[in-house]
């Protein structure tokens, strides 16, 4: 296994996980755990990989230097997908200094037996010179992604190693953005942002502002998952600003499940009305695990991109359909309506008894920060022609509202 040179003396020495399909509720076609080897007079390794990937990291490092010659370990984040090789590395390199934040020291001791680990606590502005024009600077980045997180910056080469931020969950043979293309790189980054970073949006903006004030020029962004941004670094930084500010399109996302086709018919009638007003529409039938379904983590980027979201469900035992409840729980955690610009929406569904689901969905939409524009529409059993026309008209009305936002 080989490392890949990024610039002279700086290498990707990470692990490719071709097989992973679910990571805390996020469906993914594999991922990478990116570690970076920096070779000056001294040698540093930034981050590592999920437990079980030790040999990939060590072999890739071995393709450049003897791993026993590593002088410093830099631990930007304690989560196991970036620290799982530390037990093996600290065993191979007894007493090796581990540069990390104070919160990371606390976190590591809850994850691993850290007796004998030589932590060097850093705070923002601390630096570590490796010689040969390689100076690492550290920038604490609490909650991007966990309280312990920090960014490392290679000053002379203007490379930012921000760990999870700006990452994407993909497994590819390519290592760079220009190899898979700008559109695909940003699409994958948007999914990652939508599912992991939305609640951290204010911190993203604050951190980018701080980076700007420090005058740190960034030529390359080397995150801990996915491709390295060397041609489109400005695009991913700009996209994070836009996503965090809630910039979205004249677009609506309709999310629903259906028991006997009634809620499905309503969803499609809303879509027709929205389309008549020239609004881009994404229709997402749930049904997790079935071929025709859309996974919650693939819906979130559509919501991020949209000014409106409609959520529909049949009433089942006086509750939402389980798939809809799952989605709403996920959406409440992410709170996409609390980004810088408002999102609007409403609930819909069918029932064969007392109904009531739309009230539950409406409450959850509000909890997710969505501005609910009506009380929702619920039909008894099957929508008749008049009710379908009412749904289409509500779609048109919503379309006009979106265009005025
Ligand atoms: Fe990729 Fe927060 O770990």
pLDDT higher than 80, residue 154: yes
**Range of lowest pLDDT (20-24, 119-123, 134-138, 357-361):** 20-24
pLDDT tens per residue across span 233-292: 999 999 999 999 999 999 999 999 999 999 999 999 999 999 999 999 999 999 865 657
Residue pLDDT, tens place only, 58-77: 999 999 999 999 999 999 99
Local structure of 5: helix, strand or coil: strand
- The finding on whether 79 has its CB within 6 A of some atom of ligand 1 is yes
The CA distance from 198 to 339, in Å, is: 8
Categorize the per-residue pLDDT at 293 as very low, low, confident or very high, splitting at 50, 70 and 90: confident
Percent of the chain with pLDDT over 70: 99
pLDDT computed for residue 156 by the predictor = 96
CA of 351 to the centre of ligand 1 (A): 41
Reduce the secondary structure of 118-130 to three states and give it as a string: EEEECCCCCEEEC
Compute CA 358 distance to the chain's CA centroid, rounded to the nearest angstrom: 29
Q: What is the mean pLDDT of residues 80-100?
A: 97
Angle at which helices 182-192 and 233-244 pack, to 10 degrees? 40
Whose Cα sits closest to atom 3 in ligand 1? Answer: 79
Q: Quick: pLDDT tens for 111-135.
A: 999 999 999 999 999 999 999 999 9
Q: State the distance from the centre of ligand 1 to the C-alpha of 143, rounded, in angstroms.
A: 11
| Euclidean distance between CA atoms 107 and 286, whole angstroms | 37
For residue 149, the ligand 1 atom closest to its alpha carbon is 2
What's the distance, CA 41 to chain centroid? 36
- 179-228 per-position pLDDT tens digit: 999 999 999 999 999 999 999 999 999 999 998 888 899 999 999 999 99
| Minimum-distance ligand 1 atom for the alpha carbon of 164 | 1
What is the mean pLDDT of the segment spanning 360-373? 98
Closest CA to 266 of 179, 181, 347: 347
Q: What is the mean pLDDT of residues 152-168?
A: 97
Q: What is the DSSP string of 336-394?
A: GGGSSS--EEEEEEEESSS--HHHHHHHHHHHTT-EE-SS-EEEESS--HHHHHHHHHH
- Whether the CB of 145 sits within 6 Å of ligand 1: yes
C-alpha distances in Å from residue 257, one per residue of 72, 275, 292, 327, 334? 52, 21, 11, 10, 20
Confidence of residue 24 (pLDDT cuts 50, 70, 90): confident
Which atom from ligand 1 is nearest to the alpha carbon of 167? 1
Q: Percent of the chain at pLDDT above 90? A: 93
Q: What is the Cα Rg of the chain in Å?
A: 24
Question: Across-strand partners of 140?
Answer: 150
Regarding the beta carbon of 169 and ligand 1, being less than 6 Å apart is answered no
Whole-number pLDDT of residue 288: 64
What is the C-alpha separation between 134 and 138, in angstroms, rounded?
Answer: 13
Q: Assess whether the C-beta atom of 230 lies below 6 angstroms from ligand 1.
A: no
Q: Pick the closest to residue 311 from 363, 235, 243, 240 (CA basis).
A: 363
Whether the model clears a pTM of 0.75, i.e. scores above it, the answer is yes
Q: What is the mean pLDDT of residues 141-154?
A: 94
Ligand 1 atom closest to the Cα of residue 80 is: 3
Q: Which atom number of ligand 1 is nearest to the Cα of residue 225?
A: 1
Kindly state if the Cβ of 164 falls inside 6 Å of ligand 1.
Answer: yes
């Amino acid at each position: 296994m080989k490392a890949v040179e990024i610039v002279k003396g700086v290498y990707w020495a990470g692990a490719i996980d071709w097989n992973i399909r679910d990571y805390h509720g996020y469906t993914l076609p594999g991922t990478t755990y990116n570690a970076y080897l920096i070779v000056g007079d001294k040698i540093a390794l930034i981050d590592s990989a999920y437990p079980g990937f030790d040999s990939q990291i060590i072999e890739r490092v071995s393709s450049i230097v003897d791993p026993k010659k590593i002088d410093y370990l830099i631990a930007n984040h304690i989560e196991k997908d970036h620290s799982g090789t530390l037990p093996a590395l600290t065993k191979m390199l007894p007493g090796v200094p581990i540069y990390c934040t104070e919160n990371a020291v606390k976190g590591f001791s809850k994850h691993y037996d850290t007796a004998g680990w030589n932590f060097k606590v850093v705070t923002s502005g601390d630096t570590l010179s490796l010689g040969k024009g390689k100076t690492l600077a550290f920038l604490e980045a609490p909650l991007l992604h966990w309280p312990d997180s920090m960014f490392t910056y290679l000053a002379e080469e203007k490379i930012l190693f921000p760990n999870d931020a700006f990452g994407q969950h993909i497994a590819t043979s390519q290592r760079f953005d220009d190899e898979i293309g700008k559109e695909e790189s940003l699409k994958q980054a948007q999914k990652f942002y939508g599912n992991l970073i939305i609640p951290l949006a204010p911190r993203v903006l604050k951190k980018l502002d701080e980076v700007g004030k420090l005058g740190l020029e960034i030529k390359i962004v080397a995150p801990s998952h996915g491709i390295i941004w060397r041609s489109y670094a400005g695009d991913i930084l700009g996209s994070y600003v836009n996503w965090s500010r809630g910039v979205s399109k004249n677009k609506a996302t309709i999310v629903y499940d259906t028991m006997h086709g009634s809620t499905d018919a309503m969803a499609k009638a809303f879509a027709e009305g929205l389309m008549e007003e020239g609004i881009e529409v994404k229709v997402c039938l749930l049904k997790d695990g079935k071929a025709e379904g859309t996974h919650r983590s693939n819906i979130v980027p559509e919501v991020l991109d949209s000014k409106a979201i409609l959520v529909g469900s049949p009433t089942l035992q006086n509750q939402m359909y389980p798939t809809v409840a799952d989605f709403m729980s996920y959406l409440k955690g992410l709170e996409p309506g609390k980004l810088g610009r408002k999102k609007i929406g409403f609930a819909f569904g069918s029932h064969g008894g007392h109904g009531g689901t739309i009230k539950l969905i409406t409450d959850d939409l509000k909890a997710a920060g969505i501005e609910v524009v009506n009380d929702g529409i619920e039909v008894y059993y099957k929508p008749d022609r008049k009710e379908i026309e009412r749904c289409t008209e509500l779609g048109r009305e919503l379309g006009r509202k979106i265009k005025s936002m």
